[in-house]
Structure 1
Amino acid sequence: MIGCGGLCRVLMRSSGTTELNTFYPIRPECQADAPTTRFKPRSGKTLSARRWQASFSEDGRLDIAKVLRRIQRGGVHPSIKGEVWEFLLGCYDPNSTDEERNALKQRRRGQYDMWKAECQKFVPVIGSGKFITTPLTNEDGQPINNSLVGVRSSDKKVVQWMQLLHQIGLDVVRTDRTLVFYESEANQAKLWDLLAVYAYLDNDIGYVQGMNDICSPLVMLIENEADCYWCFERAMRRLRENFKCDASSMGVQSQLGTLSQIMKTVDPKLHHHLEDLDGGEYLFAFRMLMVLFRREFSFADTLYLWELMWAMEYNPNLFARYEDPDHAKSKGPSSALNDKVLKQYGKFERKNLKTGQTEETGALAVFLVASVLEIKNRRILSEAKGVDDVVQILGDITSNIDAKKVLTEALKIQKKYLSKTKKA
């Protein structure tokens, strides 16, 4: 039996349990240890399948402003999360028609199939419904098990990629292992295939532990593997700096610097206390930022938190930026940011536009960490005698904090921070 402990990803025990259990069932032996999930679909607030369908015009154009308002109020119903997330992450232009999206989807599926076939030439187990957890090659790039290696390559990048595959497999085995979904080897293999193909294509990052935590929910929510890949690729565009490990990387380190600045401004007492504990660099928040609170919230609450964040940060130029970065840069933000245009932006992004904040200096995830710290302010000030105590206090938030409450507090902190820095 696998011990569950803090790794359990959970379903709701209160009202709404049956509905969520249908989508994210957990293994029976893990249910006793499962923390409580607070999210539940709420009629009149949560984006339902009916309201989602009603948000499209006859030819398929999406009223994104209407959708964002609903998501920001109550999240997305589990039955439609996957297709809604594809828009939130910039896979599709809301102003595109059904016909245009279908054509784009077919092109992308063909592209993914081609990339996957290229990977299969080197490692035939890819796409077989199986995956590996033992090294394919030694440090010199020579095959350890000839039966698992297809075409040998002298290309250094290919060799380095092949050396990553067993680590991906080891992480796949550990990913959301309390969920019934991952009792299936085929589902684990799908996660492994996606991460393997992504690592093959991303020469800059390849694969880093934690990317499995970002990809896993997408595998559950989006049935078609190619569609899932493109959604993950979009998610990684937002998060890729988090996984850079070289000396020039800004990523999480930059966000921690911003977090320090925010806390020093909005709560100098708590900031100075953390500095006295040698926690002024906020390294204890590294994991929260790197994998977007996957360890701090239950599985269902994490999905809820993510879609709230993506809706709050939504920018209607996201699709154009990803599809044609040069054109999007030259075009720049719209100069005519009237109320109608602004409604197509998420609430958090609108504030950034009005105040001139950038994604680098004003990421919502940073304000979310600040929010958690503020919620735990009293305990940290009275109980924390060292950084380990801070880690312990923050580790207790699982199933004790409502994701919507954290986000509401984060927006208040953003407002307070912008007000104080503007005066300064």
Structure 2
Amino acid sequence: MGNCPSELLQKKKEPKQLQVKRKPPIDKTEWDSYFDENGHLDKSRDFICLNILERGLHPSIRTEAWKFLTGYYSWRSSKDERLMVDNTRKKNYEALCEMYEKIQPLLENLHRNFMETRNNISYDIQRLYDKDPLGNVIIDKKRLEKILLLSYVCNTEAEYQQGFHEMVMLFQLMVENDHETFWLFQFFLQKTEHSCVINIGVGKNLEMLSDLISFLDPTFAEHLKGKGAGAVQSLFPWFCLFFQRAFKSFDDVWRLWEVLLTGKPCRNFQVLVAYSMLQMVKEQILLESMNGEDIIMACNNLIDLDADELISSACLVYAELMQKDVPEPLKEFFQ
């Protein structure tokens, strides 16, 4: 298993009592200081990832940092090499768009799944709220729809699922160009081991979440297996959207996602996040002896969360795990 911030290991409070004093995020001045005159990183990948876990990224550098975190850029690349990569990614994206235009009639005529998926994407996009609090349009729905369709056609591992439109929207808000949105999303899925994909990683997440509850909190586990039967399995939207709807702002979503990309303090950190969220409603669930439907409702009411507090809570769970004789399946999952 990986490392956890030392100050979190020393905390004794329960997650819900945490008062997180976050250090200032990595800003542009500090980020620029990580590179030598040729644009090679002077700092190690571990150093940068641990700092992102503990501090986060300033919005001004998030796009560039995410290109390293996702694998869009190599950690060993120079500035000139990154310019070449950007150019190549753009050309490859344009080639994919041309290919799609050519095969679209064939897909429409021969593949029923394509028509169904295209209709689902169109429906999801139309329902998507595209304005900021001042009423300004912040996303281009046509461009978003095109990227989602292209992703569906090109990504054989991750078929389109409801919620992808909300995830890709956040990538579109982060970067300027469509090719960046497309490739960052593809690399994000790969880097997170397709953990948000229903037919790949979501089931495993739910299985490991159940095992984690049984190991760390047997009393709660018994209630969930009894009156709360099926409740944990019904939490799949948390993983499908990587908790996007639980936060108070897009910045909080990006904050958690960039931690997931670091692989710190461990792999599959999203399950520790889900466990921490369940702990927030545990007292209410047990006190009111809630059944499955009520438990799901209580979990769905977890909104406007603060990412730093949740990350700190999940790190505390990880610290607790490190002090125990963890069953092999859990150990392998998180190491």
Letter in 1 for 2:295: V
Q: How far has the Cα of 1:415 moved from its partner?
A: 3.1
The alpha-carbon distance between structure 1 residues 153 and 260, as it changes in their structure 2 partners (threshold 3 A), is closer
2:97 and 2:150 in contact (8 A); partners too: yes
1:397 aligns with 2:335: no
Q: How far has the Cα of 1:398 moved from its partner?
A: 1.2
Q: Bigger relative contact order, structure 1 or 2, given CA contacts below 8 A and separation 6+?
A: 2
Letter in 1 for 2:321: Y
2:107 and 2:114 in contact (8 A); partners too: no
Q: How many residues align?
A: 305
- 1:306 alignment counterpart: 257
> Structure 2 CA distance, aligned partners of 1:300 and 1:241?
21
Q: How do 1:11-410 residues align onto structure 2 when only pairs under 5 Å count?
A: 45-62=24-41, 63=43, 64-122=45-103, 151-152=105-106, 156-157=110-111, 160-179=113-132, 184=137, 187-237=140-190, 238=192, 240=194, 242-244=196-198, 249-279=199-229, 282-298=232-248, 299-311=250-262, 313=263, 346=264, 348-349=265-266, 359=267, 363-399=268-304, 401-410=305-314
Q: How far has the Cα of 1:413 moved from its partner?
A: 1.7
Q: How far has the Cα of 1:97 moved from its partner?
A: 0.6
Q: How far has the Cα of 1:364 moved from its partner?
A: 0.7
1:411 aligns with 2:315: yes
2:210 and 2:221 in contact (8 A); partners too: yes
TM (normalized to structure 1)?
Answer: 0.65
2:73 and 2:82 in contact (8 A); partners too: yes
The alpha-carbon distance between structure 1 residues 195 and 387, as it changes in their structure 2 partners (threshold 3 A), is same
Superposed CA RMSD in Å reads 2.8
Gaps of 5+ in 2: 1-20, 329-335
Identity %: 22
Q: Which runs of 4+ in 1 moved over 6 A?
A: none
The alpha-carbon distance between structure 1 residues 183 and 236, as it changes in their structure 2 partners (threshold 3 A), is farther
**Bigger Cα Rg:** 1
Q: How far has the Cα of 1:178 moved from its partner?
A: 4.7
TM (normalized to structure 2)?
Answer: 0.81
1:49 and 1:79 in contact (8 A); partners too: yes
> Structure 2 CA distance, aligned partners of 1:232 and 1:284?
25
> Structure 2 CA distance, aligned partners of 1:231 and 1:118?
20
> Structure 2 CA distance, aligned partners of 1:417 and 1:69?
19
> Structure 1 CA distance, aligned partners of 2:225 and 2:327?
25
> Structure 1 CA distance, aligned partners of 2:309 and 2:184?
27
Question: 1:32-84: per-residue Cα shift (whole Å, max 9, x none)?
Answer: xxxxxxxxx97x52111211112111111122344323322221112222221
Q: How far has the Cα of 1:281 moved from its partner?
A: 6.0
Gaps of 5+ in 1: 1-40, 124-150, 314-345, 350-358
Question: 1:215-257: per-residue Cα shift (whole Å, max 9, x none)?
Answer: 111100111111221111011223535434xxxx452112111
Question: 1:254-294: per-residue Cα shift (whole Å, max 9, x none)?
Answer: 21111111001111111111112233561232111111001
Letter in 2 for 1:61: H
The alpha-carbon distance between structure 1 residues 224 and 122, as it changes in their structure 2 partners (threshold 3 A), is same
- Helix, strand or coil for the counterpart of 1:421? coil
> Structure 2 CA distance, aligned partners of 1:230 and 1:423?
37
Question: 1:304-347: per-residue Cα shift (whole Å, max 9, x none)?
Answer: 22123323x1xxxxxxxxxxxxxxxxxxxxxxxxxxxxxxxx3x
Letter in 2 for 1:416: E
> Structure 2 CA distance, aligned partners of 1:296 and 1:109?
33
2:231 and 2:293 in contact (8 A); partners too: no
Return the structure number with greater helix share: 2
Q: How far has the Cα of 1:204 moved from its partner?
A: 4.2
- Helix, strand or coil for the counterpart of 1:208? coil
